[in-house]
Structure 1
Amino acid sequence: MIAALVPLDSASAFEIFGFHLFGGGDKTPPPPDAVTYSVDLEVIGDDSIRKTLLNASTLEEEKGEPSPGSAALLSRARADYQHLLAALYTTGHYGGTISITVDGREAANTPIDAELGDSAEVKITVASGPQYHFDDVTIVNRPGPIPDDHTVPQTPEELGLVDGAPALSGVILASESSLVGRWREKGHPKAAIEQRTVTAYNDRDRVGVDIVVAPGRSAVFGGTTVTGTSRMDPGFVAWYAGIVPGEPFDPDDLERARDQLRRLDVFQASRIIEGEEILPDGSLPIEISVAERKRRVFGFGAKYSTIDGVGLEGYWRHRNLFGRAEKLGVEARVGGIDAEDPDQYNYRLAVNFLKPGVFTPYTDFASTLYAEQERPDTYRSRAVGLKAGLSHRIGRRLTLEGYGLIEASTIDETTVGDGDFLWFGLPAAVRYDGSDNALNPTRGFRVNWQEQPFYEAGHGNFGFVSEVEGTVYRGFGGVRNDRVVLAGRVALGSIYGPPLDDVPANRLFFAGGGGSIRGYPYRGVGPINKKGDVIGGRSYFVGSVEARVNVTQSIGVVPFMDFGNAFRSEFPDFSERLRFAVGAGLRYNTGLGPLRFDVAVPLDPIDGDPSVAFYIGIGQAF
């Protein structure tokens, strides 16, 4: 079993899934003139819109809490006329009627200062009437037609305003947003809907729509000003955002700038504000408003596993050393501390430094100095190393990385890859993220490809380490509300050049564990020596398939199957048996990503493997 203790911020109350664990659970008593009330909704006509009406009603949403008084309840009821009318329009019902009574009196005709009793009965009656359909839709762009561009909608039909289709108000609003967005993408930042006329023809249940779009002047980006900084260099913030004065206005550039500001990790809030007017020279001023976070942060955690024992970890970070978001971090980790001999512990101490905005706003320098001991069942590794290099982003999805690496290690207590090693490597990577969400993807794919030429000086060997991983996600049930997401992953790697015995054991490939084949011990799958111990291989292949099913908005279930192995050969040998595991998990969706709890069962265990394993984490497994 695996469990984790999460570090807590100091607070008077801590709440998980709505349950107060300590303190903070008291409620403010209602005022003496509070009015409790019940709500009854009757739908006459199209009962399929009942849920839409209930979701739109403030009376329904807040009925569990007493109203502060009679006037507040009547105000709430009067506001619901507009809420329910808008809900009718979203479903294409333009001829409906709405009645809201409080204790039998129509709310719209009841004086706001009328006194109600301690409790009241609210009756909502909605006669939906027939559903209306589009008819006679026209769109006019002033001063003339939009330039030909096949990448954007050109006709009402392409915008969803199809004659004969249900006249949903949301379709009209979405089409207007698309029309304005089209002009903004073409460099017109002040494009707007000049006029919208929606005419309901009650004699034939039809809706006519006339939309006039005013694109306004085209513009280029003007100067960028930064407000709200205290320790950050405002000139650096403006430069790092990447908004280039004189370049044609493009909303995609603003979105990339927002992503850049998030990457700095020094702001608790940031906004990009477009100037109210285009200046006479055709430029649009841009303002970046920020609020800085605390510069220093630290944390700690603990975990327990029946496989790996007790572990502790902690970190300290400085987010802004010299005013340009330079980051310095120290992290320490120790595992297996329930073992009697401290020599059996796993240690790691690392110092990390990150300098954003080297050469270009999209290029970062990163380095790590580390010392560690790894103590799996089949070897002991003691190593010190330094890794340093650059990461460059091309667009929002593609990242290139290149580093230099030097590591000195001593490996013993193993049948392969033992001795003293001095490793020089040049790892490089290409990463493409075409998914729609970092922690909870529902569509798209990701590809990571890594190559590392190396020279191992202790044995005089040259070689290459190659790894590639691909994941794909396919959602079903709607772009914004996928009830089922099928996810798949395949990863493989190879070390070619030196023989198996000349590769340091800590550089060999293993499979198994939460990020590989769930159900098996971490680094517990691979070639097996004559003693029955798992040793590393020069290649590996692993894969996973999952069905992520949302039961409610917050709860999901995930059946999955993982498979793979590591091999002695330089390239994966698919004539050898793969190891399989199956399992299921629960997901609790939060604003930061899903909390993950997985239970996995190995189907091909060997001596020493668990019969079941548990995993807890944040975000999807891949």
Structure 2
Amino acid sequence: MLPLIFSLVAALSIAAPLAAQNGYAVQKITFKGNETISSSVLRLVMETKSVGAFAKLLGKRGPEYDEEVMAKDLERITALYQREGFLSVMVAPVRTEVDRSGKTVKLTIVIDEGEPIIVRRVETYPAPTNAIPDSILAGILKRAERDLVLRPETRFRDSSVLLDQLLLARQLADVGYPYADIVPELTVSKSDRAVDVAWRINSGPACTFGEARILGVSKVPPAVVARQIAFREGETFRLRLVEQSQQQVYGLGVFQVATVNPTLNKDSGTAVPVETFVKDAKRFTTKFGVGYGTEDHVRVSMDTRLLGFLGGARRLQVFAKHSYLEPYHVAVTLTQPAFPTPRTTLTASPFVRRQREPAYTVNRIGGSLGAAHQFSPKLSGSITYSLEQVKVDKSVLMDGADGAAVDDLYNKSQVIVGTSFDNSAPLFNPRRGFYNANSIALSGLGFGSKTRYLKTMIDLRRYQPLAGLVLAARIKVGGIKTFGEESFVPVEERFYSGGSSSVRGWGRSELGPHEAGQPVGGSSLLEASAELRYPIIGIISGVVFGDAGNIWTESFTYELGDLRYAAGVGIRITTPIGPIRFDVARPVADDDKKTQFHISVGQAF
């Protein structure tokens, strides 16, 4: 690759005597004039560090100051700005504030960013000897236009050149040209503070998939792995099929490691061999969990898995849990991945479960059969048939408080169809992206089921980064409609609102219709939340949030004037299993002014 812009300008002189004393403790580093690059990013490129806030509270001294190290730090800051397109940046000698009695020093770094280099035009020049047809290349370039980072009137960055080069190479590799040579040519006009970008594109030869080799298989038969490979020998080489194959092989759920890599060697011809390497996960594992939350109190769980059950990639899972809300919950799940298609998974799961909620206590025993299909890495769908017998131990509805005759023992069968789209990231603490889950349940399908209803739920979430902060928003809408005069909605299927992951100004299930002082749930739900998440220090972050919602007795009825509101603040402590969450909330413009405290694991949404 040709030298980038920052290497075309002379290095700036940062020569000046530094007045600070070597060996003094650095108490604070302050930046001035840095409008484009944040102080936290600038500190990351520096070797000189100041004492941390927590260490300062403990009375600890900061790291020692070194004049030579600081000179190198100023060079690093200058180079960083040049890589970001600020070729005329000026970093002044360090200003120091010395405390000779305490032998400490405070440093101030003043930066004059100057004007950045702007992209004036972007052009592409296919090589005369290109093997790729002009029409295909034109289509690739047209599709790539919306994703290229370097565009006219945008600020030039070195990293943008690399990203666009990878993007163009990937597009060509996805239509059979994995050996494409993508070369940027940069023409800089210092007087105009502009750069012209020209891409020289040589597609290389058209390639096909060669031999597919499977390595490392032990317990799982090679044929099982081979069925997950999304391409066949002799087909046009496509990078996305290589990536899809890796996802499908790893998706079997029996491997600790699964990689699918093409062997790219220009001297080996146009048939590209592909190697699939797998390493078996432990066949038998048991995990134990212990936690605490203000709603479920102390909870303990056990998750045992047996891989390769009855041969192949089948797996058997035994899950058991105890908490205040679930005195017992035991489920045995048999999973058959990759059947009947590589992206389809079948499950069978008998269970026994006791639920203890503010509105009811029920014992449930039953099972389910399900099929899930992964349409894409972000989009999935499922269909499940469940049958269970429910015994109601406690509910105000048993007395017919809402006018419905509710049995204390009944069978319930239903078909549930669901879809899920999730491109949010990162996994446990999303900072960007979108999430949507939808479900429709139809109850009353055989086996003497007295419950006949249609239940729908829509869950929408959005995560938007805002200058180092994250704005998170959610809306949930649900509705239930019964069919038949004797039908009723079971207490465990009704909607309830209020709690640590709902409208946080109320306790669990406290919001909505009540009978005899007890929540009875309803047939319509509407909830909305917004959170502003911001860093505090290290693994600790904070949130400011507002919630709104309510429950209505009538089906698909949403009276916006009945919405109840709450506001609050919270603290998050990042852990490998998700953030530990502390929230404090109160109702807003409401007669109920009781403050609610919530402790849980994971974000509220």
Q: Same fold (TM over 0.5)?
A: yes
SS at match of 1:259: helix
Determine if the alignment matches structure 1 residue 250 to structure 2 residue 241.
no
Cα distance, 1:598 vs structure 2? 2.5
Cα distance, 1:326 vs structure 2? 2.4
Paired position in structure 1 for 2:518: 533
Paired position in structure 1 for 2:165: 176
Paired position in structure 2 for 1:374: 355
Segment of structure 1 superposing worse, 393-402 or 132-141: 132-141
Cα distance, 1:381 vs structure 2? 1.9
Q: Deviations over 1:294-328 (max 9, x none)?
A: 23332333445565554433222224435644222
Aligned mates of 2:531, 2:504 — CA distance in 1 = 15
Matches within 5 A, 1:472-511: 472-473=461-462, 475-477=464-466, 483-498=469-484, 502-511=488-497
Is there any run of 5+ residues in structure 2 with no aligned partner, and where? Answer: 1-21, 52-61, 95-106, 399-405
Structure-1-length-normalised TM-score = 0.72
- Pick from 361, 366, 385: which aligns with 1:385? 366
Paired position in structure 2 for 1:113: none
Aligned mates of 1:442, 1:45 — CA distance in 2 = 29
When residues 175 and 41 of structure 1 are mapped into structure 2, their CA distance, relative to the original with a 3 A threshold, is farther
Aligned mates of 1:541, 1:205 — CA distance in 2 = 57
Aligned mates of 1:98, 1:521 — CA distance in 2 = 55
**Are the equivalent residues in 2 in contact too, given 1:418–1:505 (CA < 8 A)?**
no
Paired position in structure 1 for 2:98: none
Matches within 5 A, 1:216-365: 216-277=204-265, 282-304=270-292, 308-322=296-310, 324-336=312-324, 346-365=327-346
When residues 232 and 138 of structure 1 are mapped into structure 2, their CA distance, relative to the original with a 3 A threshold, is same
When residues 303 and 46 of structure 1 are mapped into structure 2, their CA distance, relative to the original with a 3 A threshold, is closer
Paired position in structure 1 for 2:138: 147
Is there any run of 5+ residues in structure 1 with no aligned partner, and where? Answer: 1-34, 102-121, 338-344
**Are the equivalent residues in 2 in contact too, given 1:541–1:564 (CA < 8 A)?**
yes
**Are the equivalent residues in 1 in contact too, given 2:450–2:487 (CA < 8 A)?**
no
Aligned mates of 1:233, 1:209 — CA distance in 2 = 51
Paired position in structure 2 for 1:420: 409
**Are the equivalent residues in 1 in contact too, given 2:173–2:238 (CA < 8 A)?**
yes
Aligned mates of 1:453, 1:467 — CA distance in 2 = 12
**Are the equivalent residues in 2 in contact too, given 1:421–1:457 (CA < 8 A)?**
no
Determine if the alignment matches structure 1 residue 614 to structure 2 residue 602.
no
Segment of structure 1 superposing worse, 508-517 or 80-89: 80-89
**Are the equivalent residues in 2 in contact too, given 1:219–1:278 (CA < 8 A)?**
no
Q: Deviations over 1:89-135 (max 9, x none)?
A: 3133557899999xxxxxxxxxxxxxxxxxxxx99999988755556
Aligned mates of 1:62, 1:261 — CA distance in 2 = 47
Aligned mates of 2:203, 2:562 — CA distance in 1 = 64
- Pick from 527, 532, 537: which aligns with 1:543? 527
- Pick from 454, 463, 466: which aligns with 1:465? 454
Aligned mates of 1:516, 1:165 — CA distance in 2 = 42
Determine if the alignment matches structure 1 residue 518 to structure 2 residue 504.
yes
Cα distance, 1:388 vs structure 2? 1.1
Paired position in structure 2 for 1:563: 548
**Are the equivalent residues in 2 in contact too, given 1:421–1:456 (CA < 8 A)?**
no
When residues 565 and 196 of structure 1 are mapped into structure 2, their CA distance, relative to the original with a 3 A threshold, is closer
Q: Deviations over 1:254-305 (max 9, x none)?
A: 3333433453444444333221236978432222333333233323334455
Paired position in structure 2 for 1:192: 181
Aligned mates of 2:307, 2:566 — CA distance in 1 = 41
Paired position in structure 2 for 1:587: 572
Q: Deviations over 1:130-183 (max 9, x none)?
A: 75555686532223563235752459x965253x76543233333323332332
Cα distance, 1:232 vs structure 2? 3.3
Q: Deviations over 1:405-425 (max 9, x none)?
A: 111222244333233212222
Aligned mates of 1:191, 1:47 — CA distance in 2 = 39
Aligned mates of 2:114, 2:323 — CA distance in 1 = 67
**Are the equivalent residues in 2 in contact too, given 1:403–1:426 (CA < 8 A)?**
yes
Which amino acid is 2:82 matched to? Y
Aligned mates of 1:532, 1:555 — CA distance in 2 = 39
Determine if the alignment matches structure 1 residue 454 to structure 2 residue 455.
no
Aligned mates of 2:390, 2:328 — CA distance in 1 = 14
When residues 586 and 286 of structure 1 are mapped into structure 2, their CA distance, relative to the original with a 3 A threshold, is farther
Which amino acid is 1:492 matched to? G
